[in-house]
Structure 1
Amino acid sequence: MLVAAVQLTSKANKKKNLAVATALMLRAVRQGAELIALPEYFSFIGAKPEMFKEAERSKDGAAYRMVREFAKAHGVYILAGSIPTITEKGSDKKSTRLLNRSILFNPSGEEVVSYDKIHLFDSDLEETRAYRESETFRPGGELRVVDTPFGKVGLSVCYDLRFPELYRSMTLKGARIIFVPAAFTEYTGKDHWLALLKARAIENQVFIIAPAQFGKHAEKKSSYGKSCVIDPWGNIIALAPDCETVIVADIDFKFLAKVRKELPVLKHYRKDLFQL
């Protein structure tokens, strides 16, 4: 099965971001991809006031419509990495929060499942700056694993990657593919991004599809990139160069079965001892 991961440098220009994403998805379709994954914040990256202004009300938004219509027009599955989404308002502007929502569409353009990012990135990075995702977003409260014609898939977003329990829980629910759309910082990404992705793939014996943001979005915001697809043995079977691009990989579920047969760690997992 051919899968694709799109790498973008999204900025505070939604129309342009969506045009670039569309062009790269077209390239993936021409290469035969059946499943295309977009990165976190693919439609827009900007300051907090701009994020609220450009946030979507689910099915009415430009990013949602673009992905839905593309999936239907080209008969492919698409993961909309994440779309900042308004679902409810607080009593005032200060208390209103968005959801960082990832959505999977089927080849008919129908929404199969959505997932709201659980873990929010609040961090003081000495070498760069402080990040307070919780000032703009509120966390989701449910993990998502869904059936597809190619098996069960699990959804996660960016900072979720640092919480292995989430990935083990999705694997125990049957996930064979797990998505990790992201906008990892350059500072953390250079040392942690690929290491964490490989760890999640190896320990759960799943395929990881990780479309990422790359490059400079604004004066004080840059992302690491290195979009990739990783197999259940931890091999990087596709890796993006440092530019806006799309990578395509052939994932083989027979290989997944072989890995799980040779190293049956999921059968040996002591559910009686671990509280998940």
Structure 2
Amino acid sequence: MSYAHTPAAFRAGLVQMCSGRDVARNLRDASALIREAASGGAQYVQTPEVTNLMELDRERLFAAAEPESTNAGLQQFADLARELRIWLHLGSLVVRASETKLANRAFLISPAGAVTARYDKIHMFDVDLPNGEVYRESANYEAGAHAVVADLPWGRLGLSICYDLRFPYLYRALAKGGASFLAVPAAFTRLTGEAHWTTLLRARAIEAQCFVLAAAQGGLHEHGRETFGHSLAISPWGHILAEGGVHPSVIFADIDPAEIASVRARVPSLRHDRTFDVVAASEKAAEISS
């Protein structure tokens, strides 16, 4: 998408939730917060990762998940985007991809109620945390294979989800693909969030010279997991524009796309990228001596 002039500023609304096991209740809670965001003037509204379902038990998870083609939540949100005339970015929904695998899938919905982009989380959170928490996303979810950018009226949006945040080359690729805004909807654990959430988000904004918009899950969930919250909007210079707390809420940020060109002119690091090989020092010394 080519822009002849810098698009006008817009207001982003980031929805923070504490999703649980009851899909219908999650959808009601999300819808109420989305309406609150729209009432506050948000033209782009983002919800967190796993908006519709937060569950660790495999049997319950698969029993509650629906395929995209018959997903009542997706249709409900599409109708809501059309009613409110907003760009609605579902940070992700849990959708059934096959008999044995789910997808952690983001959807971008236009004010006409049409899905204009989908993104499946690429990096699976398979970890053993020091506090005893164990996560094996790959046991239930099929990893995505493609980075995705999508056009908004104000510029191009690069899509990602939660654990993707720890892989900076993804965001560099999104910036190289024309992204002006990076979306990082998440359900960071409290332990990792306290240590790394803000630092990593600011780093991605600074490295990619993009606005970062990150709606988060926050609080103690029904299955016992605790997420960090602190939804964030960050400028391309790394300034925090808005930050949430730990409870369900909406935060707002006024985004001026003109700031992107200004930052990239001051520090033209995206233009200075070079490709290179990694060579062991011993090999390089042997090559010179020969």
Instruction: Tell me the distance in 2 between the aligned counterparts of 1:274 and 1:21.
Output: 47
Which whole-Å deviations, capped at 9, do the CAs of 1:94-151 have from their partners, x for residues lacking one? xx11111011001001000100000000000021311111111110101101222211
Work out the CA distance in 2 between the residues paired with 1:255 and 1:84: 35
Matches within 5 A, 1:187-206: 187-206=191-210
1:22 aligns with 2:25: no
> Which residue, out of 81, 104, 125, partners 1:100?
104
1:3 CA displacement: 0.4
| Distance in 2 (alpha carbons) for counterparts of 1:266 and 1:233 | 14
Matches within 5 A, 1:80-229: 80-89=90-99, 96-229=100-233
Q: 1:64 is matched by which residue type in structure 2?
A: L
Preserved contact between residue 56 and residue 83 of structure 1 (Cα < 8 Å): no
Supply the distance in 2 between the matched residues of 1:45 and 1:175 (Cα, whole angstroms): 29
Query: How far, CA to CA, are the matches of 2:235 and 2:266 in structure 1?
Result: 15
Provide the residue aligned with 2:62 in structure 1: 52
* Separation in 2, partners of 1:274, 1:109: 46
Write the letter of the residue equivalent to 1:82: S
Alpha-carbon shift at residue 251 of structure 1 (Å): 0.5
Q: For the residues of structure 2 that align with 1:224 and 1:78, how far apart are their CA atoms?
A: 23
Tell me how large the CA RMSD over aligned residues is: 1.3
- CA offsets, 1:209-268, max 9 Å, x none? 100000111353110000011110111101012210010110011111111111111111
- 1:273 and 2:276 matched: yes
- The residue that corresponds to 1:65 in the other structure is 75
Counterparts in 2 of 1:166 and 1:3: CA distance versus 1, 3 Å: same
- The equivalent of 2:43 in structure 1 is 34
Report if the CA contact (8 A) 1:55-1:83 is conserved: no
Higher deviation after alignment, 200-209 or 39-48? 39-48
The unaligned stretches of length 5 or more in structure 1 are 90-95
Paired with 2:69 and 2:11, the residues of 1 have a C-alpha distance of 28
Contact 1:128 1:187 in 2 (8 A): no
Bigger Rg, structure 1 or 2 = 2
Quick one: distance in 1 between partners of 2:248 and 2:114? 27
Deviates further, 151-160 or 212-221: 212-221
Deviations 1:162-214 (A, max 9, x none): 00010000100000011101000011110101110000000110011100000
Matching residue of 1:92? none
- How many matched pairs? 268
What SS does structure 2 have at the residue aligned with 1:267?
coil
1:93 alignment counterpart: none
Query: Within 1, Cα distance between the matches of 2:211 and 2:69?
Result: 29
Q: Which moved more, 1:44-53 or 1:254-263?
A: 44-53
Instruction: Tell me, yes or no, if structure 1 residue 234 matches structure 2 residue 238.
Output: yes
2:233·2:242 contact (CA, 8 Å) conserved in 1? Answer: yes
State percent identity of aligned pairs: 39
Structure 2 spans left out of the alignment, 5+ residues? 1-9, 279-290
Q: Does the CA-based 8 Å contact 2:155-2:257 persist in structure 1? A: no
